[in-house]
Structure 1
Amino acid sequence: MNAPAPLQTSYAPRRWRPAPLITGTAALHVGAAAAMLLEPATWPWATGSVIASHLVLTAAGLWPKSALLGPNWTRLPPSPDANDRIALTIDDGPDPEVTPRVLDLLDEHSARATFFCIGERAQRHPQIVEQIAARGHAVENHSQRHRHHFSLSAPGALRREIEAGQRTLTQITGTRPLFFRAPAGLRNPFLEPVLCDLGLQLASWTRRGFDTRERDAGKVTQRLLDGLAPRDILLIHDGHAARGADGAPVILKVLPELLRTAAQAQLRWTTLREALDENTPKNAPIPVQKAIDAAPFDKI
């Protein structure tokens, strides 16, 4: 497989711009408080409106492909180079049994993928993460511990979890992740400001196979290929992979068909990192990293 072109590996923190839903909710809270102060009898309506706004925020966080809480990559950004590109993202690894076999399949088809790795798993199997990077794939942040209550965390807890994942993966690969995917895709309004401060971009997907629970490889493949189009971002799992009736991880049966079909459709695989680099002006200076980059890795 040909080595990818050198990419930018350093991006400055992004400026946080509250999404309209966030600013609208804040304004509603202020209005509700003012209404109760000026006319106490309005408290049922004011309280009800605040509760309703919180329900909307919760629903937005429970919808992985939502952009209501802030920017979220559900497809590759439009560009002249994206007209025949699709992205394969692989979550929850590394897995010592599955990931090396996934890498071999990708090599056979000259395909590059984006691996969203869990920090703790990466610490247990650093040599596999090194292999992912060495074989031309991108390693991105899927949190340090992949806790199921991640979306219920306060800003400080979110930052500690994401920052720990950043440091773990940077220490192993020598390259800072540029993307973050929340565990199960679930999040809350506090996540985007943290990602902005850490220079990370949230990424979800266009379509997924539900291959952590679906044991039928044919059904997983159909979900991924149904309506496949340029700029799609696909999600499968090398960690927590479901197993078919024969005991084999489903991903190992899904990948060959997926890669063959993409080749027949003349679609080319790219990484999210490459797509980001292609949409960054080539003459733009690489921003200086924040002081966190220079912090010792053992200060987690």
Structure 2
Amino acid sequence: MLIRNIVNIISVIAGSLMLAAIIFDKLPWWSLFVLILIWLLITGYGVANIRSGYFLKSLSNNSKINQRKIAITFDDGPDPNTLEVLKILDKYDVKCTFFCIGKQVEKYPDILREITKKNHVIGNHTFSHDKLIDMYGTERFTNEIKDADHIIEKYTTKRPLLFRPPYGITNPNIAKAVKATGHSVIGWNKRSFDTTIPSEKVILRRITKNLKNGDVILLHDTKTITLSVLEQLLLFLQRNNFTTVTIDELFSIQAYA
């Protein structure tokens, strides 16, 4: 059972008992607002944290893996900067997973082809990655996933089965959309914040601190700062005997239909 269902059941039972207690003057009326506030905080955490499994199951790390394997993932491409990322990955003979935005694929189809040519894995990151996409209804969000699938398949002949929600946001509509499309939802447990943090050292420290077997690192192939961070990361992984694998290998799942 999803955590959301458990929280809702407990909240309803607690609310009913509290309401009865309020009616018989055993509790003050404002105690119900405390319960509502707690429910809102828990639900808000579930929305913002893809690892919580609050609305849907996501694969954010594989703690069961015994080998020193991790996965590096990139969001928001393809982008001209992606070509520089690919050069660094070639230099270290590393394969990664790229979660691509459909409208970026339309802009740079040749870069998408280059990613697949080098045997990296492509995942779905919606078509528009709109700033308000987490507010979309189920049907509209479903179309976002399907449209991204279509454009990726158009240029690679492969339909991705891996999906990462924009911003890592989840909610009931997104859960219903993913269920309808049949994708595996991929999260992360090492977030770089390379889109906001200006310091290479801070970013590198965030993603290498306490790095363990089965961890999933989130980077963005659209940012120039990521280039220098990536090279330092790959050197760190070499020194510490980690092997970088694609998401499908890390979780033993299918990457494409």
TM range (shorter): 0.7 to 0.9
**Counterpart-to-counterpart distance in 1, 2:191 and 2:135:** 24
Find out whether 1:271 has 2:246 as its counterpart: yes
Are 2:217 and 1:234 aligned? Answer: yes
Q: Are the counterparts in 2 of residues 208 and 224 from structure 1 also a CA contact under 8 Å?
A: yes
Mapped partners of 2:125, 2:42: distance in 1: 25
What TM-score do the two structures reach when normalised by structure 2?
0.85
1:87 to 2:62 alignment? no
Q: Residue 163 of structure 2 aligns with which residue?
A: 180
Name the structure where helix makes up a greater proportion of residues. Answer: 2
RMSD of aligned residue pairs (Cα, Å): 2.8
Match of 1:57 in 2: 43
Contact 2:58/2:186 (8 A) holds in 1: yes
**Aligned residue identity for 1:139:** I
Q: How far 1:255 sits from its partner (Å)?
A: 1.1
1:129-176 deviation line (CA, Å, top 9, x unaligned): 111011010000111111122222221222121221122212222112
User: Alignment length, in residue pairs?
Assistant: 251
Alpha carbons 1:221, 1:257 under 8 Å: kept: yes
Say if 1:85 and 1:217 are closer, same or farther in 2 by CA, change over 3 A: same
Using the size of structure 1 for normalisation, the TM-score is 0.74
Q: Deviations over 1:204-243 (max 9, x none)?
A: 111122111122212211111111221110111112x2xx
Question: Does structure 1 conserve the Cα–Cα contact (< 8 Å) formed by 2:123 and 2:161?
Answer: yes
Q: Which residue of 2 aligns with 1:297?
A: none
Distance in 2 of aligned mates of 1:160 and 1:112? 29
Aligned-residue identity in percent: 24
Question: Are residues 31 and 197 of structure 1, via their aligned partners in 2, closer, same or farther at CA, if it must alter by over 3 Å?
Answer: farther
Matched AA of 2:171: N
Match of 1:112 among 95, 109, 128: 95
SS of the residue aligned with 2:52?
A: coil
Match of 1:153 in 2: 136
Which amino acid is 1:63 matched to?
N
In structure 1, give the amino acid aligned to 2:133. F
Alignment of 1:124-273 (within 5 A): 124-239=107-222, 241=223, 249-273=224-248
Where in structure 1 do 4 or more consecutive aligned residues deviate above 6 Å?
A: 30-33, 42-48
